[in-house]
Structure 1
Amino acid sequence: METRFLETFLTVVESGSISEGARRSNLTPAGVTQRLRALEAEIGVPLLVRAGRGVTATRAGSRVAERARPLLRACRDLTAGLDDDVLAGELRLGAVTTAAIGLLPDLMVALRAGHPGIEIRLHPGRSNELYAKVLDAELDAAMIVQPGFGVPKTCGWLGIRAEPLIVLVPDRLRGADPFAVLAAEPFIRYDERSWGGKLAGDYLRARRIRPREIFELETLDAIAVLVNKGLGVSLVPDWAPPWPSGLSLARLPVPGAPLRHVGLLWQRASVRIGIINAVVEQFAAPA
């Protein structure tokens, strides 16, 4: 059985679409369909069924997916770390959006220069989701917001960036009092399902500030665009650039602002610990 076909099948199941699975696998939809048909023919049962405009796993397909995930992880781990003199192999790295855009590109350039055999497979997501995937060994490491609780001793943590909360306002409000702004202007809330959004929500509650909320958004870039349009203000971490271009915004410092800490989480016992250590060393090195 071709492990590549199983990987393609899992990608389609996770994305819910053959076209999206093809994009993620760098294949054509026809190529993906051919692999899926070959896999179904070998296993002997249908694995996928149409669901609206997408696809979903059949009952048998769900069982195959459940068994295939640890099998594929074991296959990838088979050759990891065999050559102590050469760092090479795949690193399954999760990253929140701001880290993927603002922190990860420089890391990838540096790793490619020093260790061309390392291949990073990026998995975007929320901090809480990526945290769970590292603990379950679905990811080797993740660039996430530091949780509000201690990480297990089986994991390593390296702080990379500390981001104070700021009140983000249109440029016309530059220099205004941040508390007056939060009390008077329409408020765009940073979704509290994210750990950064929860940090902002906790700060507002501790200060007994009840802004006039009009929107709640998960993406910081989208919040910045709406603030630029004059639709409201927001309390957000001062995240790593680049920010959306062409915006006229001002950042108002917040008294007693807590920090959103962004860092790297990894499993200490990972078979890819050599590659992970190279990433840790790169982030820990002086700029």
Structure 2
Amino acid sequence: MDTQFLNTFVTVVDRGSMAAAARQLNITPAAVAQQIRTLERELGASLIVRAGRTVGVTEAGHRILQRARDLLRDVADMRSVANDDSMSGELRLGACPTGLAGLLPDVLARMVEKFPQINVFIQPGYSADLYRSVESGALDAAVVLQAPFPLPKTCHWQLLREEPLVVLAPERMAGRDPHELLATEPLIRYDRHQWGGRQADEYLRRVGIVPRERFELNALNAIAVMVDRGLGVSLVPDWARPWPEGLRLARIPLPQPSEPRRIGIVWSRSTVRIRLVTAFLQESKAAAAAM
């Protein structure tokens, strides 16, 4: 079985049409259709159904889709191992929301420029879920918050950036005392179910502030917009840019020490793509130092 035909099948499913798959693969739609028919004959089952210009996946197609993806990834791994003297193959990364929007684009720009032969798969998610994906081998590495628990020996973590807690307030409140703001103004709380939100909650408890809570959410950019609109103040990590444009905000340091939110990279020590992971670590450190 030609793995290129499997790749064509997966591309058709992902792109939703023969024509779109042909453009991505740089072949004709007729060649795409021929490869799909050949694959269907070899497997003895129909894989896709055509509906006008779009396609759907049959039950048999659904059954083999994930195995086809896994096989194609394994082939890429073998190519990477066989050509150990060059940077090639697929790197499977995860990223938490602030890492995905802040640090990761700069790192990927550096990676693509230096190693144009690599492919990168990116899985967004919350840090707790991404740790499990790295531990299970589903991901090679992930940009995550530092875990509040010991890592298994199969994984390693590298700090990239520390983000201290700040009071986020409308610009007109810049000169006011941060503790007075937290005690008197409505609080837009950073979700206590998230690791960063727990650090903010622990600070409020330690300094004895009982806030007037108005909202609670896990979306830092949305919190910034709400503060700009005068809906309250917030206690959040001083997260990496980009922030929403046009906001008039004050970021006020806290008068007492607080535990910062730490962002770094977790990776599997046993991944066959350790050379790609090492390169990713190096470029991540350089990108973080330049922020």
TM range, smaller chain: 0.7 to 0.9
Q: Distance in 2 between matches of 1:135 and 1:10?
A: 29
Q: Distance in 1 between matches of 2:213 and 2:58?
A: 42
Deviations 1:234-281 (A, max 9, x none): 111000112111111001112212111100111011011000001112
Q: Which residue number corresponds to residue 7 of structure 2? A: 4
Q: Indicate the larger mover: 117-126 or 1-10.
A: 1-10
Query: Higher Cα Rg: structure 1 or 2?
Result: 2
Deviations 1:176-195 (A, max 9, x none): 11111111111111122322
Instruction: Give the C-alpha shift of residue 147 in structure 1.
Output: 0.8
Alignment of 1:109-120 (within 5 A): 109-120=109-120
RMSD in angstroms over aligned alpha carbons? 3.3
Q: Which residue number corresponds to residue 174 of structure 1? A: 174
Q: Indicate the larger mover: 231-240 or 110-119.
A: 110-119
Q: Indicate the larger mover: 272-281 or 112-121.
A: 112-121
Cα–Cα, structure 1 residues 211 and 258, in superposed 2: closer, same or farther, change >3 Å? Answer: same
CA contact (8 A) 1:128 1:195 kept: no
Instruction: Give the C-alpha shift of residue 175 in structure 1.
Output: 2.3
Q: Distance in 1 between matches of 2:88 and 2:70?
A: 21
Instruction: Give the C-alpha shift of residue 208 in structure 1.
Output: 3.5
Deviations 1:118-174 (A, max 9, x none): 222222111112111111111111001111112222112111100001111111110
CA contact (8 A) 1:225 1:247 kept: yes
Cα–Cα, structure 1 residues 10 and 269, in superposed 2: closer, same or farther, change >3 Å? Answer: farther
Q: Which residue number corresponds to residue 211 of structure 2? A: 211
Alignment of 1:40-79 (within 5 A): 44=45, 70-71=70-71, 73-79=73-79
Q: Which residue number corresponds to residue 190 of structure 1? A: 190
Q: Which residue number corresponds to residue 269 of structure 2? A: 268
Cα–Cα, structure 1 residues 281 and 46, in superposed 2: closer, same or farther, change >3 Å? Answer: closer
Cα–Cα, structure 1 residues 235 and 120, in superposed 2: closer, same or farther, change >3 Å? Answer: same
Cα–Cα, structure 1 residues 85 and 223, in superposed 2: closer, same or farther, change >3 Å? Answer: same
Q: Distance in 1 between matches of 2:163 and 2:267?
A: 21
- What runs of 5+ residues in structure 2 fail to find an aligned partner? 50-56
Cα–Cα, structure 1 residues 227 and 75, in superposed 2: closer, same or farther, change >3 Å? Answer: same
Cα–Cα, structure 1 residues 8 and 112, in superposed 2: closer, same or farther, change >3 Å? Answer: closer
Q: Which residue number corresponds to residue 236 of structure 1? A: 236
Instruction: Give the C-alpha shift of residue 5 in structure 1.
Output: 6.4
CA contact (8 A) 1:96 1:124 kept: yes
Cα–Cα, structure 1 residues 222 and 87, in superposed 2: closer, same or farther, change >3 Å? Answer: same
Deviations 1:37-58 (A, max 9, x none): 989995759999xxxxxxxx99
Q: Tell me the SS of whatever aligns to 2:169.
A: strand
